[in-house]
């Protein structure tokens, strides 16, 4: 019983660490991030800004070899719809 508990605990720790790493993000980790957080706190660089429609803006960010996209309402990086891995 102790072995099963230990295995479950270790697998939880490993899975938790996998989406808390900004250098290898997952969509789960990105779901509550903003463009400002990614650039100012995690070192992502703004690669491009695409504002084809008047209501949304697509920000593309890079961090070494990682590309992240964020769809933002009204071009305001503080009001985010969501960030995701393309």
The more confident residue out of 57 and 20 is 57
- Every domain of the chain and the residues it spans: 2-84
Helices (H), 1-86: 2-18, 27-30, 35-40
pLDDT digits (tens, 9 = 90+) for 26-53: 888 888 888 899 999 999 999 999 887 6
Contact 60, 50 (CB under 8 A): yes
The more confident residue out of 18 and 34 is 34
Q: Which of 7-11, 19-23, 67-71 is predicted with the least confidence, judged by mean pLDDT? A: 7-11
Task: Please tell me the predicted confidence (pLDDT) of residue 82.
Answer: 82
CA atoms within 13 A on the CB side of 60: 9
Task: Please tell me the predicted confidence (pLDDT) of residue 31.
Answer: 85
């Amino acid at each position: 019983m102790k072995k099963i508990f230990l295995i479950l605990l270790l697998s939880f720790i490993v899975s938790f660490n996998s989406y808390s790493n900004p250098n290898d993000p997952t969509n789960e980790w990105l779901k509550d991030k903003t463009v400002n957080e990614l650039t100012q706190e995690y070192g992502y660089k703004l690669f491009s800004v695409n504002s084809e429609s008047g209501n949304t803006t697509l920000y593309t960010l890079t961090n070494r070899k990682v590309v992240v996209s964020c769809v933002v309402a009204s071009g305001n990086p503080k009001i985010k719809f969501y960030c995701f891995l393309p």
